[in-house]
Amino acid sequence: MSEAATPPGSGPERGSVFPPGFDPTAESAEKTLCFRGFWAWAVLILLIAICVSVFMWLLRKCIQGPAYRKANRIDGKVVIVTGCNTGIGKETVLELAKRGARVYMACRDAGRCEAARLEIMDRSHNQQLFNRTLDLGSLQSVRNFVERFKAEESRLDLLINNAGVMACPRTLTTDGYEQQFGVNHLGHFLLTNLLLDRLKQSSPSRIVVVSSAAHLFGRINREDLMSEKKYGKFFGAYSQSKLANILFTCKLSSILKNSRVTVNCCHPGVVRTELNRHFAGPGWMKSVLQTGSLYFFKSPKAGAQTSLRLALDPGLEGSTGGYYSDCMRWPLVPWARNMETADWLWRESEKLVGLPPMEPPPPNQNQNQNPTQNSNGTQNGNAANGSREMQSVETVVVNRS
Q: Is 207 one of the binding residues for ligand NAP (CB under 6 A)?
A: no
Nearest distance in Å: CB 183, ligand NAP: 4
Binding residue (CB under 6 A) for ligand NAP from 176, 218, 268, 354: 268
Contact between 89 and 81 under an 8 Å Cβ cutoff? The reply is yes
Stretch that binds ligand NAP, among 49-57, 97-105, 135-143, 253-261 (CB under 6 A): 135-143
The reply on whether position 136 binds ligand NAP by CB under 6 A is yes
Work out whether 349 is an interface residue with ligand NAP (CB under 6 A).
no
- What's the CA gap between 258 and 64, in Å, rounded? 35
* Number of Cβ atoms within 10 Å of the Cβ of 21: 7
Kindly tell me which residue out of 109, 147, 317, 359 binds ligand NAP, with binding defined by CB under 6 A. Answer: 109
CB of residue 48 to ligand NAP, shortest distance in Å:
33
How are strands ordered across the β-sheet holding 323-325?
A: 129-133, 102-107, 78-82, 158-161, 205-210, 261-267, 323-325, 328-330
In the chain, the N- to C-terminal Cα span, in Å, equals: 124
Check whether the bond before 204 is cis (ω within 30° of 0). Answer: yes
Of the residues 95, 135, 178, 343, which one makes contact with ligand NAP according to CB under 6 A: 135
Residue selected from 63, 66, 100, 112 as contacting ligand NAP according to rule CB under 6 A: 112
Question: Is there a catalytic annotation at residue 231?
Answer: no
Which CB sits closer to ligand NAP, 83 or 236?
Answer: 83
* CB-nearer residue toward ligand NAP: 182 or 202: 182
Least spacing, CB of residue 209 vs ligand NAP, in Å: 9
Among 165, 186, 332, 345, binds ligand NAP (CB under 6 A): 165
Note the residue count of the chain: 401
Residue 116 beta carbon to ligand NAP: minimum distance, rounded to whole angstroms: 8
Question: Residues 137, 176, 218, 354: which binds ligand NAP (CB under 6 A)?
Answer: 137
Number of residues near ligand NAP (by CB under 6 A): 30
Return left, alpha or beta for 210; rule: phi > 0 is left, psi -120 to 50 is alpha, else beta: beta
Cα dihedral 47, 52, 55, 59 in deg (nearest 10): -170
String of b and e for 160-180 (b: at least 16 CB within 10 Å)?
bbbbbbbbbebeebebbbbbb
Q: Is 306 in the site for ligand NAP (CB under 6 A)?
A: no
Part of the chain binding ligand NAP (CB under 6 A), chosen from 131-139, 284-292, 365-373, 385-393: 131-139
Q: DSSP letters along 357-378, please?
A: PSSPPPTTS-SSPPPPB-TTSS
Residue 218, interface with ligand NAP (CB under 6 A)? no
Strand-strand pairing, 78-82 and 158-161: parallel
Taking every pair of C-alpha atoms in the chain, what is the biggest distance, in angstroms? 132
Q: At residue 26, what is the residue type?
A: A
Residues designated catalytic:
238
Summarize as ranges the residues that interact with ligand NAP (CB under 6 A).
82-83, 85-89, 107-109, 112, 134-137, 162-166, 183, 210, 212, 267-268, 270-271, 273-275
